[in-house]
């Protein structure tokens, strides 16, 4: 039976739809796992006082310029509103009603710290075509290498947390994102944001240790006393005495999108403070790479598609006539009335 172009496209579309019906069947590769000695941060929103010392320290440590209103001639105060090509770390605030009580969803407010979450299975690394985004196999830090970057911005579109930003206001724009102060850690120092946090809201340490600390806080009842470590978990800085808040009974980043090395505790629902919650427990690359690896395994499906297209082109072009010439379609000129 002859297969015309319309039928061929129908068959191709049906095959694509059938493959998309069951996403799990395309889940070909296993989720990536966190390195045993991965470093990270526990951000406890209930301990954050919104001082933004971490924002200033991040700019200083990474030599980032201040942001201000372009219409003003003087820079009076650096108050960036969101992550950008000049700001790698930001403190935002959730507010509701009369905003009278901290860490309350109703008529309250809460601070939240936003920067790269250093995913276990990062979408930005998977999407980057030139390996400008990499994940350190020991520390787990997701780094951006400017010397490799081609400015395609695939990482910007791929990140589910909207973290990588492009410098649009410069002649040679670059991607900018939190590198978790890898240059400072290489010298034995703490990430700048954790180093200056006065309350321990941003706490540095091994991810596994931070998870244990988070679970300890979650296991206590609201109002119970707790000694909150500062700077580095297990470090030599004096801890700060405080009380346990009415936490959401979940550690954000433990499972979301395959896990992240930046973990969150909050008394306000996570979606209220801008963290996506309607996400799977595996990274998106586990699906996208699984589909790609399945589709291009052995290059058989692409070759079959190419053969079909060549066949259709041959049929459309027609067969040679008795003179040996291939008939061509001629345009019919419309007569002017």
The closest alpha carbon to 193, from 208, 178, 207, belongs to 178
Task: Write down the pLDDT at residue 334.
Answer: 56
* Statement to judge: residues 307 and 251 lie in one domain: no
170 band by pLDDT with thresholds 50, 70 and 90: confident
Residue 336 has pLDDT above 60, yes or no: no
pTM above 0.75, yes or no: yes
Mean predicted confidence (pLDDT) in 215-232: 98
SS3 content of the chain, % helix, strand, coil (to 5): 30, 15, 55
Indicate whether 125 belongs to any domain.
yes
Angle, in degrees to the nearest 10, between helices 5-21 and 300-317: 160
Is residue 275 domain-shared with residue 311, that is, in the same domain? no
What is the residue-wise DSSP string for 138-202?
Answer: TT--EEE-TTT-----HHHHH-TT---EE-TTSTT--EE---TTHHHHTTTPPPHHHHH-SSSSE
Q: What distances in angstroms separate CA 128 from CA 31, 134, 150, one per listed residue?
A: 18, 9, 10
Q: Is the residue at 192 inside a domain? A: yes
> Could you tell me if 134 and 184 lie in one domain?
yes
Confidence band, pLDDT 50/70/90 cuts, at residue 198: very high
Same-domain check for residues 165 and 306: no
In angstroms, rounded to a whole number, what is the distance separating the alpha carbons of residues 224 and 218? 11
Within a domain: residue 106? yes
Close Cβ partners of 46 (under 8 Å, ≥ 6 residues apart): 102, 103, 110, 245, 247, 265, 266, 267
Say whether both 129 and 251 belong to one domain.
yes
Same domain, 277 and 298: no
Among 88-92, 153-157, 158-162, 332-336, which stretch is predicted with the lowest mean pLDDT? 332-336
Token digits of residue 171: 């002649």
Do 217 and 154 reside in the same domain of the chain?
yes
- Count the neighbouring beta carbons within 10 Å of the beta carbon of residue 232: 19
pLDDT tens digits for range 5-34: 555 555 554 444 444 434 444 455 788 999
Span 142-157, pLDDT tens digits: 999 999 999 999 999 9
pLDDT in tens, 264-322: 999 999 999 999 999 999 999 988 886 665 656 655 566 777 777 887 777 776 655 55
Do 236 and 269 share a domain, yes or no? yes
Rounded Cα distance between 159 and 122, Å, is 8
Residues 6+ apart with CB under 8 A from 140: 34, 35, 38, 39, 40, 118, 120, 207, 261
Number of structural domains found in the chain: 2
Domain that holds residue 301: 283-316
Domain of 119, CATH number, reads: 3.30.70.20
Do the beta carbons of residue 185 and residue 139 sit within 8 Å?
Answer: yes
Phi, psi dihedrals of residue 144, rounded to the nearest 5°: -110, 130
Radius of gyration of the chain (CA): 27
Residues in the chain: 337
Q: What is the pLDDT of residue 76?
A: 55
Beta carbons of 102 and 92 less than 8 angstroms apart: no
- The three-class DSSP label of residue 243 is strand
pLDDT value of residue 252: 98
pLDDT of residue 308: 77
The answer to whether position 8 is within a domain reads: no
């Amino acid at each position: 039976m002859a297969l015309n172009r319309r039928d061929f496209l129908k068959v191709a579309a049906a095959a694509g739809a059938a493959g998309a019906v069951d996403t799990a069947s395309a889940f070909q590769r296993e989720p990536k796992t966190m390195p045993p000695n991965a470093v990270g941060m526990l951000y406890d929103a209930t301990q954050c006082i919104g001082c933004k010392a971490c924002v200033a320290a991040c700019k200083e440590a990474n030599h980032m310029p201040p942001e201000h209103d372009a219409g003003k001639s003087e820079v009076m105060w650096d108050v960036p509103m969101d992550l950008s090509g000049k700001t790698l770390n930001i403190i935002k605030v959730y507010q509701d009603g009369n905003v009278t009580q901290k860490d309350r969803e109703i008529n309250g407010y809460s601070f939240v710290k936003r920067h790269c979450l250093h995913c276990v299975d990062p979408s930005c690394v998977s999407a980057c075509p030139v390996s400008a985004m990499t994940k350190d196999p020991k520390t787990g830090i997701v780094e951006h290498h400017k010397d490799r970057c081609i400015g395609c911005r695939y990482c910007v579109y791929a990140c589910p947390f909207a973290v990588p930003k492009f410098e649009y206001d410069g002649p040679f724009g670059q991607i900018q994102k939190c590198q978790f102060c890898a240059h400072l850690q290489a010298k034995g120092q703490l990430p700048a944001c954790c180093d200056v946090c006065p309350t321990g809201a941003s706490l540095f340490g091994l991810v596994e240790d931070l998870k244990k600390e988070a679970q300890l806080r979650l296991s206590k009842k609201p109002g119970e006393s707790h000694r909150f470590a500062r700077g580095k978990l297990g470090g030599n800085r004096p801890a700060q005495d405080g009380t346990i808040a009415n936490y959401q009974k979940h550690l954000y980043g433990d499972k979301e999108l395959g896990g992240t090395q930046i973990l969150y505790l909050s008394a306000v629902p996570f979606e209220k403070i801008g963290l996506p919650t309607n996400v799977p427990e595996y990274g998106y690359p586990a699906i996208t790479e699984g589909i790609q690896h399945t589709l291009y395994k052995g290059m058989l499906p692409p070759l079959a598609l190419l053969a079909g297209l060549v066949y259709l082109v041959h049929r459309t072009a027609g067969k040679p006539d008795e003179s040996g010439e291939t008939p061509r379609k001629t345009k019919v000129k419309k007569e002017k009335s």
